[in-house]
């Protein structure tokens, strides 16, 4: 009897397991079908898939807006102090005199109307200058000063309470930092904004006018890949805080997005000089030179790869300016100036940068190499013309 009862219980349990298993399998099947039906319904009626895709798109847009917002805020902060400059000059041709217009950019550095721009934009007292502000207001401007060593000029308009840009520390900028250029591109598209990074520092270039009629040696420049087009000259190159770290001055014609700007620290000393004396006064030694380098030293078997080499590179120009301090102490072409007072001249501490710390009339001790021998001399800095 007990055995029969036991067998019956086993059969019941076996049948129950089969039944439970079937219930579970059936539940899973109907659950899966129900889930698929729910997904289908959500897709058809703007449900889960659209919501997920929309969420992803919204997230991407939010990230993008966050990345761009700093640039947008900077542009809003500085653009009101950027101006367009129209230059009207009288030129002589075969048919007689005629008026010629050219365009450039600038920015306000004083609330009472001082404007900084390039010397190659504004350099002649016989030309007339018209400044157009961000709001579209126009003013006649007067040329107040030009920098004899750098491509800088100062204009003045009669206005008050103008927005002003702050000059930052160009020496503090790091390669790869984001920069923004603003200017009157091609003389047609005012307040054009381009962005990029600081590509390099302390670049030396020969900048030529558009028609090749004149050229100027410029050194210690900032290099950027932010597009600098014709008409951008004189406009600001700013960091992400809206501080001016450079004055746009030139672009390589044979390359894309290879632009150059005068460091703001050079502009600071020019502005300070003008505010003190009414002109931009620069001290000079009186030499034309090229920066030394490891490659130049190796190629020419020079005793040092630092300093600057007194050299003209132009058969019509002497390396030593006649009557200058360098001329008076007897410097010669191919001398290598390696030190001013206690400051060594190298890629990080250029001669031009060192001289920014001195004034006209200061006495300095220079150390130089001639035929491999070290020499020293003391000279009195004169004013650059």
333 and 246 within one domain: no
CATH number of the domain where residue 357 is located: 2.30.42.10
Counting Cα atoms < 13 Å in the Cβ hemisphere of 28 gives 5
CATH number of the domain where residue 114 is located: 2.40.10.10
Counting Cα atoms < 13 Å in the Cβ hemisphere of 92 gives 0
**Which band of pLDDT confidence, cut at 50, 70 and 90, is reported for residue 35?**
low
307 and 265 within one domain: no
269 and 191 within one domain: yes
Question: What's the pLDDT score for residue 229?
Answer: 81
Residues 88 and 104: beta-carbon distance below 8 Å: no
**Which band of pLDDT confidence, cut at 50, 70 and 90, is reported for residue 315?**
confident
Nearest to 173 by CA among 213, 113, 123, 223: 223
Q: Which of 238, 259, 277 is the last residue of a domain?
A: 277
Q: What pairing do the DSSP bridges indicate for beta strands 114-117 and 128-132?
A: unpaired
Question: What's the pLDDT score for residue 61?
Answer: 55
214 and 134 within one domain: no
291 and 272 within one domain: no
In the set 105, 170, 233, 264, the catalytic residue is: 233
Question: What's the pLDDT score for residue 122?
Answer: 92
**Any idea which residue has 């219980």 for tokens?**
9
Instruction: Write the pLDDT tens digit of every residue in 40-60.
Output: 555 555 544 455 445 545 555
298 and 223 within one domain: no
Question: What's the pLDDT score for residue 329?
Answer: 96
Poorest-pLDDT segment among 231-235, 260-264, 271-275: 231-235
Burial of 19 (0-12, 13-18, 19+ CB in 10 A): exposed
133 and 230 within one domain: no
- Residue 217's SS3 state is strand
Q: In this structure, what token pair is assigned to residue 256?
A: 């894309």
* Host H or E run for residue 93: strand 82-93
**Which band of pLDDT confidence, cut at 50, 70 and 90, is reported for residue 3?**
very low
Give the N- to C-terminal CA distance of the chain in Å, as an integer: 129
Q: Which of 225, 246, 277 is the last residue of a domain?
A: 277
Question: What's the pLDDT score for residue 5?
Answer: 42
252 and 269 within one domain: yes
**Which band of pLDDT confidence, cut at 50, 70 and 90, is reported for residue 366?**
very high
In the set 120, 225, 264, 382, the catalytic residue is: 120
211 and 149 within one domain: no
200 and 141 within one domain: no
Instruction: Write the pLDDT tens digit of every residue in 74-133.
Output: 999 999 999 999 999 877 666 667 677 888 999 999 999 999 999 999 998 889 999 999
In the set 147, 151, 190, 202, the catalytic residue is: 151
Question: What's the pLDDT score for residue 104?
Answer: 92
Q: What number is the average pLDDT over the span 22-42? A: 57
Distance CA 129, CA 82 (A): 16
Residues 108 and 132: beta-carbon distance below 8 Å: no
Domain membership of residue 118 (yes or no) is yes
Domain membership of residue 38 (yes or no) is no
**Which band of pLDDT confidence, cut at 50, 70 and 90, is reported for residue 1?**
very low
177 and 94 within one domain: no
Active site residue 120: yes
What average pLDDT does the chain have? 83
Nearest to 113 by CA among 51, 152, 159, 54: 159
Q: Which of 258, 277, 296 is the last residue of a domain?
A: 277
Structurally, the chain folds into a number of domains equal to 3
Domain membership of residue 42 (yes or no) is no
Residues 123 and 144: beta-carbon distance below 8 Å: no
pTM over 0.75: no
Range of the domain at 367: 283-383
Question: What's the pLDDT score for residue 66?
Answer: 55
Q: In this structure, what token pair is assigned to residue 49?
A: 């898939």
**How many percent of the chain have pLDDT more than 70?**
77
CB atoms within 10 A of CB 384: 19
Active site residue 341: no
SS in 3 state form for 333-368?
CCCEEEEECCEECCCCCCHHHHHCCCCCCCEEEEEE
SS in 3 state form for 306-331?
CCEEECCCCCCCCCECCCCHHHHCCC
Active site residue 151: yes
What residues contact 11, with CB distance under 8 A and at least 6 apart?
none
290 and 273 within one domain: no
Does residue 317 register a pLDDT over 90? no
Residues 286 and 320: beta-carbon distance below 8 Å: yes
């Amino acid at each position: 009897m007990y055995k029969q009862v036991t067998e019956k219980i086993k059969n019941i349990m076996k049948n129950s397991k089969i039944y439970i298993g079937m219930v579970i399998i059936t539940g899973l099947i109907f659950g899966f079908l129900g889930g698929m039906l729910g997904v289908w319904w959500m897709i058809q009626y703007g449900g889960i898939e659209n919501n997920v895709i929309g969420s992803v798109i919204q997230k991407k847009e939010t990230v993008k807006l966050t990345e761009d917002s700093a640039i947008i805020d900077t542009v809003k902060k500085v653009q009101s102090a950027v101006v367009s400059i129209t230059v009207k000059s009288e030129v002589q041709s075969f048919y007689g005199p005629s008026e010629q217009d050219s365009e450039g950019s600038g920015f306000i550095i004083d609330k009472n109307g001082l404007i900084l721009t390039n010397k190659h934009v504004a350099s002649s007292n016989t030309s007339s200058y018209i400044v157009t502000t961000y709001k579209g207001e126009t003013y006649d401007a007067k040329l107040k000063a030009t920098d004899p060593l750098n491509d800088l000029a100062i204009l003045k308009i009669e206005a008050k309470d103008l927005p002003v840009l702050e000059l930052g520390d160009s020496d503090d900028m790091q390669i790869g930092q984001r920069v923004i250029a603003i200017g009157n591109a091609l003389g047609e598209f005012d307040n054009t904004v381009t962005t990029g990074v600081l590509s390099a520092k302390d670049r030396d270039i020969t900048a030529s006018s558009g028609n090749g009629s004149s050229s100027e040696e410029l050194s210690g420049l900032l290099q950027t890949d932010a597009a600098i087009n014709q008409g951008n000259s004189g406009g600001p190159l700013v960091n992400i805080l809206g501080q001016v770290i450079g004055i746009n001055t030139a672009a390589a014609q044979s390359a894309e997005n290879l632009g150059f700007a005068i460091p703001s620290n050079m502009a600071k000393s020019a502005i300070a000089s003008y505010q003190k004396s009414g002109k931009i006064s620069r001290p000079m030694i009186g030499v034309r030179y090229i920066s030394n380098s490891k490659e130049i030293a190796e190629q020419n078997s020079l005793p040092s790869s630092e300093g600057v080499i007194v050299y003209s590179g132009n058969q019509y120009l002497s390396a030593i300016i006649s009557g200058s301090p360098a001329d008076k102490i007897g410097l010669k072409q191919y001398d290598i100036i390696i030190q001013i007072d206690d400051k060594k001249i190298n890629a990080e501490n250029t001669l031009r940068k060192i001289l920014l710390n001195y004034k006209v009339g200061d006495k300095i001790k220079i150390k130089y190499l001639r035929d491999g021998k070290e020499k020293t001399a003391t000279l009195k800095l004169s004013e650059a013309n």
